[in-house]
Structure 1
Amino acid sequence: MKLVTISSATGRSVGVVDAATGTVRDVGGLIPPGAGLLEVIERWDEVGPLLRDRAGELSAQPLESVELLAPVPVPRRNVWCVGKNYRDHAVEFGRSGYDTPDRSDALPERPIIFSKATTSVTGPDALVHPGPTRELDYEGELTVIIGRGGRGISREDAYDHVWGYTLINDVTARDVQRDHKQWLLGKSFDTHCPMGPYAVTADEIYDVTALELETTVNGERRQWAPLKDLIFDIPELISTISAGTTLLPGDLIATGTPAGVGLGFDPPRFLESGDVVEVTVTGLGTLRNRIA
């Protein structure tokens, strides 16, 4: 099932998308009053079957006629992110001069975990504002949505805690990332976490490792990789993060970006005003945003 968050004159609502027909059904009347996608995820055992059984009875409207927000417009806490989780990207980042000297020549031995502020989240087709950076970069990423929370989750049980998946563009201010010698500030400017267009339930994705990720800028392919190329796979990421920190329903884990980011070119090819970035993953749709 593909779910979206819809903006309307009366606020926000949850919709179910039929990608084959390009339509969406507002299911606000089937879920608890005032509930958003976070609450739907929390109560999925109750709400999920209801949506599957009855959403088709509701009237459909063209998807292009509604305004989509990020599936989770306001996460409960920062988005979990993973750095240098594709081998070729780790190499290009190490050679770029933007990495810290003690880490530039080696692949990570353990997952590198950082975060993006909740206020950086924006939706599909929303403008991305550079803010105070001259080196704006893109990073297309598959993102895991946690359904059942927990601490000390084992690799073997990890997928039991996955509700579904979405897409994130981990937009980065490279100069800020470099100059402050840490990643939080340079990753967290307002609008620098485009998300969507859909939140896709895990039962639609039979084999995550078979998915392919592509990022284009103005139609030119910049990134491509199969998800099987992750250095640390999804079970390892869930196990690592939850080892001492309780994961919550609705938590988001952006799994890392492949090679081909702007700083990896010589000279670097950073984003400019008017550029259109599109991130696509098999079965998850395309996240499209323009640079203001």
Structure 2
Amino acid sequence: MSIKKMDIVGRKSYRCDILFRVIDIREQGNTKIAVLYGEDFRLIADAPFDDLVPINPSERAKKSQQFRSMEEQSLQLFRQDLHLLKEKREFETTEGYKKPNNYFHMPGRVLHLDGDPLYLKKCLTLYETIGIPVTGIHCNEKEMAHKIGGLIESYRPDILVVTGHDAYSKSKGEKTDINAYRHSKDFVLTVKEARKRVPSLDQLVIFAGACQSHFESLIHAGANFASSPSRVNIHALDPVYIVAKISFTPFMETINVWDVLRNTLTGEKGLGGIETRGILRTGMPLNKE
């Protein structure tokens, strides 16, 4: 079978339910093994070559269109929420529209660490569409904990995203055992290192995790929001929708966790969190020159 790196494939044993990118090819004895990254989900998997099926361009386009429709619907719902938040801020800032609309807003600054450069690019495009100031850095999951301290010092973010790829392997242990996960331990160590620099849950809001990640360990390590409570796959763009809600909620307001999750593509099975203050600050006067 002529499958090479970066080809798009499906797994016969899973009825090709998820599209994968081949990112590495290895030999295990006489068996050829492909290391796979999900195209739309933050999932990493290994599969023997005889379980792989190349996905032709037309089939790939059809599946991709289904996800693009979901993404557009989620973005539309978020824009509606953003419009309502903006109207509420204008009413409160102008004391019921009695004062001039002469103010400006400062949304939260985001530092987004991603183990996948293609996902990072997709996320940065969405951040830009929504209007969130962001610095995106591609970093291997196993290197994140070593680099996060210096990155926080350099960029001083209000919100930190630590994500990439992950997966739970039943053959390695129970779901309660963090050693049974591909990168959950790396994410946990990164969150702990970040909390050494900024202990307050409100001064630095952290989202951490990827597909099937060990949710409880990430929250206990100091993340405000994390994946994946039910150990399901999360969409590549889900972290952005969580960050956007935090970034545009005023710092005097507490964010209801359900309000954050309801417009994501995965929902409460794949994402969860704790009560957190918003980040947005309002200032005046606005220089309109």
Q: Confirm or deny a common fold (TM above 0.5).
A: no
Q: Which has the higher contact order (CA 8 A, sep 6+)?
A: 1
Length-normalised TM-score, structure 1: 0.27
Answer 1 or 2: which has greater helix percent: 2
